Amino acid sequence: MSISQMIEFVAVVVIFLGSVMSVISAFGIIRLPDVYTRSHAATKSSTVAVLLSLSGAFIYFWVSEDFISVRLILGILFVFLTAPVSGHLLTRAAYRSKVKLTENSSDDALKEVLFPEDK
Amino acid sequence: MPAQFLLNLFIAFLWTTLQDEDELKMTTFFSGFIVGIFIIFLMHRFFGTQFYLRRLLSIIKLLFIFISELAQSSLLISKQILNPHWDLKPGIFTYKTELKGDWEITTLAMLLTLTPGSVVMEVNPEGDMFYIHAMDIEQSKADVMRSITKFEKAIMEVTR
């Protein structure tokens, strides 16, 4: 097995890990009880999934075709820039339109700030 | 600091000329520049000013902290998702940050959203209070606090 084949194998493993992560995050979006916990799954796991599969593709193209794809790097960069912002805005909008937290939530420091009249 | 950059360029120029090649090569100039970075890094305390690439170094450091935290958080999240008995206690807690300015606060909020068990839900208008939703407030609050202070320190090194 030559070096380039080994690195290709590494790239394949990285892409596989990425797809596993995206399956897990899809599970999370279905399984978790409310919007806020779902946004954890949506922001973190799926960012990691996209990161892993894009960097796997980057490594593969680099080794097998000697092609450094700047677009893949830009893709990673923009996912990192946009995923947290969208997660933040979704949870913020959900809280402001009074979506309830799940039942066994313990602490809610935001309530007295945003809705002081509901006490 | 511009003096250090000029000195670095000068070292690179000297390096290219002392190599005495048949033609002027850009790659030799760049390797000279890298050697110059090394020399200036070793000597910068004698100038009495800070190393001019310190900011770059601390950005790289921040990147590494971020990647390690991201790996930990995705492991934690997938463990929590796949746990068949889901009995965590989510909740919202506040954190008062010492960072100031749009850039620092935005960076901290983004990094926090991507790392262990926390999504920033709201920043107050003054921009110094974060409302953070945690997946499991009893267990992971300490972890979240630890990584917040780590990030804060690293961001301050970049911007100040």
> For the complex shown, is ipTM > 0.90?
no
- Strand runs labelled E in chain B: 91-96, 118-123, 129-134
- Those residues with Cβ within 8 angstroms of residue B109's Cβ, 6 or more apart along the chain or in another chain: A84, A88, B120, B123, B130
Where are the domains positioned within chain A? 3-118
Q: What single string gives the DSSP state of each residue in A45-73? A: IHHHHHHHHHHHHHHHHHHHH----HHHH
Nearest to B89 among A83, A91, A104 (CB): A104
Subunit contact B77:A108, Cβ cutoff 8 A: no
Report residue B62 as tokens. 């921040």
**pLDDT at residue A15 in the model:** 93
Subunit contact A113:B86, Cβ cutoff 8 A: no
**pLDDT at residue B133 in the model:** 80
Chain A nearest-CA distance from B112, in A, is 9
Cβ neighbours of A36 in B, within 8 Å: 90, 119, 121, 133
B109 touches chain A (CB under 8 A): yes
Q: What spatial distance separates the first Cα and last Cα of chain B, rounded to whole Å?
A: 15
Residue of A nearest to B116 (CA): A44
Subunit contact B74:A21, Cβ cutoff 8 A: yes
Subunit contact B86:A102, Cβ cutoff 8 A: no
Q: Give the pLDDT means over successive 10-residue stretches in chain A (119 positions).
A: 84 92 86 80 81 90 84 87 84 81 66 61
pLDDT tens track for B92-150: 777 887 777 778 888 888 888 777 667 787 777 777 778 888 777 777 777 777 778 88
Chain B nearest-CA distance from A78, in A, is 13
